[in-house]
Amino acid sequence: MSYNIRLLVSCPDKKGLIAAVSQFIAMHDGNILSADQYVGEDSATFFMRLEIEGEGFGLERDEFAAAFAPLARQHEMEWSMSYTDTPKRMAILVSKYDHCLTDLLWRWDAGELDAEIPLVISNHPDLRSRAESHGVPFHHLPVTKETKAEQEGEMLRLLSESDVDLVVLARYMQILSPKFVHAYPDRIVNIHHSFLPAFVGADPYRRAHDRGVKTIGATAHYVTEDLDAGPIIHQDVAHVTHRDTVDDLVRLGREVERRVLAHAVRWHLEDRVLVDGNRTVVFE
């Protein structure tokens, strides 16, 4: 079965980095299928993503790290790699709204999202059958003010047990603790139902309606300790008119939310998103 290798590299910018890395790949008979580079404007950080054909590449999986180490050390590189025949493991957290979960599961079935989904976790029981009808185990962890810390611990245990790489908040209506966020740095994707930084916080469609905006939006971003302020991965909008009630905004917003979240998740799963301070580099 054919597969590709994805290599992500970041390091302080200097001359010769592309040559050094591509030379390393060529030396090991690698066929580069696509290559993207970017140097952060403010950070002067060099970012690179390579997709290499697995077949014919001269380094075995357990050999790559040792072989690449000297180069990485020399240029102070942070790097990671993934193999397309080993999909990432993605957990989905939901509450009661089902549109984002349904859309992700449908796209997953349709082959649009290359991932394993070992579990769905929710603080409400409502979406059990939705998850299970796609063959995904569902865990109900109700949250009250008193049990919140304990249930987060249980969530972390479940995620760890399931060896999860990515956590998707598909309209999960609980704020996660710093401890939880730090457990999955740049690996928790949230969908916010507004065009951030407009309408940070609760009830954005109501506030959008009251402000009389003519466009609503949705924002997919990595979760950081600072609520709704993490690095933005993707945004899109829909036009609205004075005739649209708050309910209409919610309805039209659902359409934008599920599209924006699905694109962001797909890009993450394909290792296309890198974080540069509080901004993202998206190698589409």
Q: CB-wise, 81 or 246, nearer to its own copies?
A: 246
Give the residue with the Cβ less far from its own copies, 30 or 167.
Answer: 30
C-alpha angle with apex 76: 75 to 81, nearest 5 degrees?
95
Contact 48, 276 (CB under 8 A): no
Q: Give the integer Cα–Cα distance in Å for 158 and 2.
A: 32
In sequence order, the 6+-apart residues with CB closer than 8 A to the CB of 269 are 87, 88, 90, 113, 114, 115, 166
Closest to its own copies by CB, 23 vs 86, is: 23
Nearer to its own copies among residue 145 and residue 242 (C-beta) = 242
Whether residue 194 contacts residue 240, with contact meaning beta carbons closer than 8 Å, is answered with no
For residues 114 and 105, give the distance between their C-alpha atoms in angstroms, rounded to a whole number: 11
Q: 175, 179, 136, 140: which is closest to 156 by C-alpha?
A: 179
- Residue 131 or 155: the one with the smaller Cβ distance to its own copies is 131
By CB under 8 A, name the binding residues for its own copies.
Answer: 15-16, 18-20, 22-23, 25-26, 29-39, 41, 98-99, 102, 106, 110, 112, 133, 195-199, 210-215, 217, 231-237, 241-243, 245, 251, 254-255, 259, 276, 278-282, 284
C-beta of 37: minimal distance to its own copies in Å? Answer: 5
Residue pair 132/117 in contact (Cβ under 8 Å)? The answer is no
Kindly name the residue from 228, 247, 271, 276 that is annotated as catalytic.
228
Tell me the residue length of the chain: 284
Minimum CB separation of residue 118 from its own copies in Å reads 23
Can 228 be counted among the known catalytic residues? yes
CA distance 225 to 177: 8
DSSP H or E segment with residue 153 = helix 148-161
Quote the least distance from Cβ 253 to its own copies, whole Å.
Answer: 12
Instruction: Report the residue number, 133 or 144, with the smaller CB distance to its own copies.
Output: 133
Minimum separation from the CB atom of position 131 to its own copies (A): 14
The long-range contacts involving 64-67, CB below 8 angstroms and separated by at least 24 positions, are 67/24, 67/28
Q: At what angle do helices 204-211 and 246-269 cross, to 10 degrees?
A: 130
Distance CA 168, CA 266 (A): 11
Give the angle 49-53-58 at the CA atoms, nearest 5°. Answer: 105
CA atoms of 111 and 134, how far apart (whole Å): 13
Active site residues: 228
